[in-house]
Amino acid sequence: MTRGNQRELARAKNAKKEAAKKGGNAKSGSEMAKQGLSDAEKMRQKQMEGQFAMGTCLFCAN
């Protein structure tokens, strides 16, 4: 068991590396909600532009 300490150190180092990989998002819940709303608004705008270009705008007052 001469390598026991070396194994434990390697396990700890690998666990630290894996935890850094996982990460996660750095935004709070309210920030994520705001971004979700702005993203949804951008998608609605793109949809409207696409429909208007095709002449089938459902939400436009033509």
Burial of 31 (0-12, 13-18, 19+ CB in 10 A): exposed
Domain limits, the chain: 29-62
Residue-averaged pLDDT of the chain = 83
Interval 30-59 mean pLDDT = 85
Query: Which pLDDT band holds residue 58 (cuts at 50, 70, 90)?
Result: low
6 — alpha (psi -120 to 50), left (phi > 0) or beta? alpha
pLDDT tens column, 4-18 = 799 999 999 999 998
Using CA atoms, how far apart are residues 28 and 30, in angstroms rounded to an integer? 6
